[in-house]
Amino acid sequence: MAVEWGIALSLARHGRDELLALAERAEARGLDLIVLQDDDDDDDGQGLDPWTTAAWLAGRTRQIPIAIEHDPAAISEAMAAKAVESLGFLAGGRVLTSAPAGVQVRPASEIDRIQVTERDRTGRTAAVRAKRRAGIAYDDVPASLADATIEPGDPGFRGRRSTYMRGGSPGLILQPRTPDEVADALRFARRHPDLPLGLRSGGHGVSGRSTNDGGLVIDVSRMNDIEVLDEATRLVRIGPGATWKQVAAELDKYDWAIGSGDYGGVGVGGLATAGGIGFLSREHGLTIDSLVAVELVLADGTQIRADETLNQDLFWGVRGAGANFGVATAFEFQASEVHEVGWAQLTLVSPDLEQSLRQYGQVAREAPRDTTVFLIAGPPRQGQTVIQLYGVVDSPDPDVVVERLTPFAGTGLLAQQQVVLTRYAGIMAGAADVGPDGHHGRGEPMARSGFLPVLTDEFARDAAALLRTGKVFFFALRHMGGAIADTTREATAFSHRTPEFQVTAIGADRDGLDQVWDRLAGHFDGLYLSFETDPRPERLHDAFPPDVLARLRSLKQRYDPTHLFRDNFWVGENS
């Protein structure tokens, strides 16, 4: 490896203009590092603040790494971390809070005497290597993935480290572009059996399981093709890395849609292996019910296709517990014909949430299949609860749309309403685009989930009490029923076919949330794994009833006997 060179600049002795001139010179000469030294060898007063200067110099240079000698001066670690993270965003991770080992740092006066040698351009600089995590064989990344990895020191890391709701810090992100590259990534993962292994498509998952701390992430976002295979049968082939917003936009050209969740930013891979409860489910079934075939790479690198006739048992398991069996590389769906729909967003104020929930339950229960209305509520303020109702009436007829929505609007005092005729693609388009900037979740999401067989008066009472505790800041009811139950319980590993609602609560701290949520347990029958973050082992049994779990475990034994995939509702071993 070629020698890397840096220069040391003094915050006390060099003035602004001299610092800038030296930094520009170091960059022009191809040096690898600038170290800002907070030296204190004069008595004239303090030198420039290291962090402020580093941030300013980062704005004046293009690519040279800049190191200071300690964390930014701040009131707390959290504030220092915020500063570092922010500059990572602005300057692409090239400002370091300690000088990396392995760089020869010379005084600024020697800047023109340093002989810079040509460096291997595919290799990473010492500054980047300094941020590597223990236990990962970085030098042995398969050749096919050499240009498809992101390390903690790389500029793209910031946008990929975290998910929508979880802050993460993986040690290496692998971004395969083909099934063969997925197999290579899995071969690399098999060499690291003790590290966490996240599988990431859109990175939206509320349960936040697609990132980790110090482990590996296989990020399939580059496998995002959307291709119509057969127009007559509406057969579509979609890569796991596409988002539902992209899918909806593409299918809209044909007057088709595949029901997804309620947010277009969600990735195809995560949803199509878990369930997919959305605005079209009551009419066309869950997302997995539109799935006709899936292609995966198994833990041992085998590429396999599964459908109703080929590897039927795997096809069953992927539809509800997919993360246990492999990395999906393509899905084939049969889209539904969907034309203009009514899209409603209603804001209600309720002085009596219990009463409003009872009424909403009644109205939702009686709604025809073309109508799906979700409910969100937060904690009451001054005795009033704000309720958001949002959903779809699958009809292009404004009179029908209004007729369907009117009973929902009466479940509280209507404060605001927006009802439009639009396309399913128009609804999914409401999601923000996640560009290279990525997701920036922080900490751990705290979400609990339950399937509610019937919205009883007792549930309404207890749910209202739950919100009064203030421990839950987001409470959602997803309207199920209708076509979801047209598929039998045995057909897919997702076996919760008959609840009226899927219920989600998000809180700020785990103990507080669990304490109040666990009181509701008697109302529920099972949980939806996409919204569940409780690490207690009982949750696995809520997600999968005994017969389903037993079948999943025997499949696990067959398809992933070394248990490489265990970071997302790991079904475990037969006891």
Partner 1 sequence: MTDYGHDLLFGAFVTPTAQDRQAVELAVTADRAGLDLVTFQDHPYQPTFLDTWTLMSYVAARTSRIRITGNVINLPLRPPAVLARAAASLDLLSGGRFELGIGAGAFWDPIVAMGGRRLTAGQSIEALAEGIGVIRDLWDTSARDRVQHDGTYYQVSGAKRGPKPAHDIGVWVGAYKPKMLALTGALGDGWLPSMDYLPDGVASLPGMNAHIDEAATEAGRSPAAVRRLMNFMRFDGSAERLADLALNHGISGFIFGGDDARSYERLAAEVAPEVRDIVKRSRS
The answer to whether 65 contacts partner 1 (rule: CB under 8 A) is no
Cα angle 95, 99, 104; round to 5: 120
Q: Residue 87 or residue 314: which is nearer to partner 1 going by CB?
A: 87
**Shortest Å, Cβ 482 to partner 1:** 36
Question: Which two three-digit tokens encode residue 443?
Answer: 């900490």
Q: Which of 14, 22, 33, 47 binds partner 1 (CB under 8 A)?
A: 47
Q: Which stretch binds partner 1 (CB under 8 A): 72-80, 111-119, 131-139, 537-545?
A: 72-80
At closest approach, how far in Å is the CB of 445 from partner 1?
12
Closest CB to partner 1 among 40 and 110? 40
Q: Is 98 left (phi over 0), alpha (psi -120 to 50) or beta?
A: beta
Structure tokens belonging to residue 246: 């992209």
In the complex, minimum distance from the CB of residue 375 to partner 1, in angstroms, rounded to a whole number = 25
Q: Which residues are CB-contacts of 249 (< 8 A; sequence separation ≥ 6)?
A: 425, 428, 429
Residue 100 or 441: the one with the smaller Cβ distance to partner 1 is 441
Contact call for residue 59 and partner 1 (CB under 8 A): yes
Q: What is the 3-state secondary structure of 287-354?
A: HHHHEEEEEEECCCCCEEEEECCCCHHHHHHHHHHHHHCCEEEEEEEECEECCCEEEEEEEEEECCHH
**Total residues binding partner 1 (CB under 8 A):** 38
Q: Does 233 bind partner 1 (CB under 8 A)?
A: no
Distance in Å, CB of 203 to partner 1, minimum: 15
Residue 381 makes contact with partner 1 by CB under 8 A: no
Binding span for partner 1 by CB under 8 A among 57-65, 320-328, 370-378, 415-423: 57-65
Burial label for 493, CB within 10 Å (0-12, 13-18, 19+), is buried
Count of alpha carbons within 13 angstroms of residue 460, beta-carbon side: 17
Cα–Cα distances (Å) from 340 to 343, 401, 409, 452, in that order, read 9, 11, 21, 30
Candidates 49-57, 340-348, 447-455, 497-505; binding stretch for partner 1 (CB under 8 A): 49-57
Q: Does 146 bind partner 1 (CB under 8 A)?
A: no
For the bound state, the minimum distance from the C-beta of residue 557 to partner 1, rounded and expressed in Å, comes to: 41
| Residue that is written with structure tokens 């979400």 in the block | 447
Rule CB under 8 A: is residue 70 a binding residue for partner 1?
no
Question: Is the Cα dihedral 256, 262, 264, 270 positive or negative?
Answer: negative
Regarding 46 and contact with partner 1 (CB under 8 A), the answer is yes
Of 62, 70, 442, 541, the one binding partner 1 (CB under 8 A) is: 442
The DSSP bridge pattern shows strands 226-230 and 235-238 to be: antiparallel
The helix (run of H) or strand (run of E) holding residue 104 is: strand 103-107
Minimum distance, C-beta of residue 436 to partner 1, in the bound complex (Å): 9
> Is residue 351 within 8 Å of 383, Cβ to Cβ?
yes
The nearer residue to partner 1, 17 or 112, going by C-beta atoms, is 17
Answer yes or no whether residue 56 interacts with partner 1 by CB under 8 A. yes
Cα distances (Å, whole numbers) of residue 48 to 106, 209, 292: 20, 42, 64
What are the tokens at 238? 């979609």
Q: Decide if residue 77 touches partner 1 (CB under 8 A).
A: yes
Cα gap 118→115, rounded to integer Å: 10
Using CB under 8 A as the binding rule, whether residue 75 contacts partner 1 is answered as yes
Cα 93 to Cα 10, 30, 52, 86, 159: the distances in Å are 22, 18, 16, 9, 11
Q: Of 25, 82, 305, 563, which lies in the binding site for partner 1, with binding defined by CB under 8 A? A: 82
Instruction: Lay out the site mask for partner 1 across 87-126 (x = CB under 8 A, - = otherwise).
Output: x-xxx-----------------------------------
Residue nearer to partner 1 on the CB measure, 59 or 135: 59
Given the rule CB under 8 A, which of 69-77, 98-106, 292-300, 558-566 is the region that contacts partner 1? 69-77
- Please name the residues in contact with 427: beta carbons below 8 A apart, sequence gap of 6 or more: 248, 264, 279, 341, 343, 392
* Closer residue to partner 1 (CB): 28 or 73: 73
Identity of the residue, 58 or 183, whose beta carbon is nearer to partner 1 in the bound complex: 58
Distances (CA, A) of 467 to 384, 388, 485, 504: 11, 15, 30, 12
For CA atoms 301, 307, 308, 309, give the dihedral sign.
negative
Q: Which of 79, 146, 310, 415 binds partner 1 (CB under 8 A)?
A: 79
Among 31, 48, 277, 353, binds partner 1 (CB under 8 A): 48
Q: How far is the CB of 13 from partner 1 (least distance, A)?
A: 12
Per-residue contact track with partner 1, 16 to 45, x per CB under 8 A?
x---------------------------xx
Task: Give kind and range of the element (H or E) at residue 448.
Answer: strand 447-452
Measured between alpha carbons, how far is 411 from 409 in angstroms, rounded to an integer?
6
Compute the least distance from the CB of residue 41 to partner 1, in Å. 12
| Adjacent-strand bridge partners of 372 | 392
Please work out, in degrees rounded to the nearest 5, the angle formed at the alpha carbon of residue 464 by the alpha carbons of 286 and 271. Answer: 20
- Look up tokens 């067989």; give the residue: 453
* Least distance between partner 1 and beta carbon 44 (Å): 7
Q: Is 73 among the residues that bind partner 1 (CB under 8 A)? A: yes
Taking CB under 8 A as the criterion, the residue among 9, 33, 58, 527 binding partner 1 is 58
List interacting residues with partner 1 (CB under 8 A): 15-16, 44-49, 51-53, 55-60, 72-79, 82-83, 85-87, 89-91, 435, 437, 440-442
